Structure 1
Amino acid sequence: MATTIATARTLSVPGATLHYQVEGSGPVLLLSQSGEGDADRTVDLVPHLADAFTVVTYDRRGLSRSTLEDPARPVTMAEHADDVARLLAEVADGPALMAGFSMGGAIGLQVVARHPGVLGTLIAHEPVTPNLLPEADRARHRAELAAIQEAYASGGLSGAFPAIARHLGIDPAHDDTEDGLTPQPMTPRRQANFGFFIGTEFTAVTTDRLDPAEPVRAAALAGTRIIAATGRTTRPTVHTYGCALALADLLGTEPVVFPGGHNGNTAFPRATAQALKVTLAA
Structure 2
Amino acid sequence: MTAPQTRTLEAPGCVLTYDVRPGPGSAPVLLLIGSPMSAAGFGTLAGHFPDRTVATYDPRGADRSRRTDGATVTTPEEHADDLARLIAELDAGPVDLFATSGGAVNALVLVARRPELVRTLVAHEPPAAQALPDREAALAASRYIHETYLYRGLGPAMAEFIRLVGHRGPVPGDFAEGPAADPAAFGLPTEDDGSRDDPLVGQNMISSTHHVHDFAALRTASTRIVVAVGAGSEGELAHRGGLAVAERLGTAPVVFPGDHGGFLGGEHGQTGEPEAFAAKLREVLTAADRNGSSIGD
Question: TM-score band (shorter)?
Answer: 0.7 to 0.9
1:241 aligned to 2:243? no
Q: C-alpha distance in 2, partners of 1:193/1:216?
A: 37
> What number of residue pairs does the alignment pair up?
253
Alignment match, 2:178: none
Alignment match, 2:280: 275
Alignment match, 1:202: 205
Following TM superposition, by how much is the alpha carbon of 1:45 offset from its aligned partner in structure 2, in angstroms?
Answer: 1.6
Give 3-state SS (helix, strand or coil) of 1:277's partner.
helix
1:258 aligned to 2:259? no
Deviates more, 1:201-210 or 1:90-99: 201-210
Alignment match, 1:87: 86
Offset from partner CA, 1:207-238 (integer Å, 9 cap, x none): 53333333222x1xxx21000110001031x2
Following TM superposition, by how much is the alpha carbon of 1:250 offset from its aligned partner in structure 2, in angstroms?
Answer: 2.6
Give 3-state SS (helix, strand or coil) of 2:70's partner.
coil
- TM-score calculated relative to the size of structure 2: 0.78
CA contact (8 A) 1:131 1:211 kept: no
Following TM superposition, by how much is the alpha carbon of 1:96 offset from its aligned partner in structure 2, in angstroms?
Answer: 0.7
Give 3-state SS (helix, strand or coil) of 2:116's partner.
coil
Residue identity in the other structure for 1:121: T
Q: C-alpha distance in 2, partners of 1:210/1:248?
A: 12
Following TM superposition, by how much is the alpha carbon of 1:33 offset from its aligned partner in structure 2, in angstroms?
Answer: 1.3
Deviates more, 1:270-279 or 1:201-210: 201-210
Q: C-alpha distance in 2, partners of 1:121/1:264?
A: 20
Deviates more, 1:208-217 or 1:90-99: 208-217
Give 3-state SS (helix, strand or coil) of 2:44's partner.
coil
Indicate the RMSD between aligned Cα atoms, in angstroms. 2.3
Give 3-state SS (helix, strand or coil) of 2:55's partner.
strand
Residue identity in the other structure for 1:54: T
Q: C-alpha distance in 1, partners of 2:215/2:240?
A: 13
1:148 aligned to 2:145? yes
Q: Which runs of 5+ in 2 are unaligned?
A: 169-186, 189-194, 265-271, 288-297
CA contact (8 A) 1:27 1:52 kept: no
Cα gap change, 1:63/1:193 in structure 2, threshold over 3 Å: closer, same or farther?
farther
Cα gap change, 1:73/1:233 in structure 2, threshold over 3 Å: closer, same or farther?
closer
Q: C-alpha distance in 2, partners of 1:194/1:246?
A: 30
Q: Which runs of 5+ in 1 are unaligned?
A: 172-184, 187-191
Offset from partner CA, 1:6-46 (integer Å, 9 cap, x none): 00000011221100001132420111114x31111112221
Over the matched positions of the two proteins, sequence identity in percent amounts to 39
Deviates more, 1:226-235 or 1:142-151: 142-151
1:215 aligned to 2:218? yes
Cα gap change, 1:170/1:270 in structure 2, threshold over 3 Å: closer, same or farther?
farther
Q: C-alpha distance in 1, partners of 2:167/2:4?
A: 31
Cα gap change, 1:82/1:43 in structure 2, threshold over 3 Å: closer, same or farther?
same
Alignment match, 2:22: 24
Alignment match, 1:69: 68
CA contact (8 A) 1:64 1:193 kept: no
Cα gap change, 1:127/1:194 in structure 2, threshold over 3 Å: closer, same or farther?
farther
Give 3-state SS (helix, strand or coil) of 1:195's partner.
coil
2:162 to 165, 190, 215: 165
The one of the two structures with greater contact order (alpha-carbon pairs below 8 A, sep at least 6) is 1
Alignment match, 1:178: none
Give 3-state SS (helix, strand or coil) of 2:150's partner.
helix
Q: C-alpha distance in 1, partners of 2:53/2:252?
A: 28
Alignment match, 2:132: 133
Give 3-state SS (helix, strand or coil) of 2:153's partner.
helix
Q: C-alpha distance in 2, partners of 1:165/1:260?
A: 17
CA contact (8 A) 1:6 1:21 kept: yes
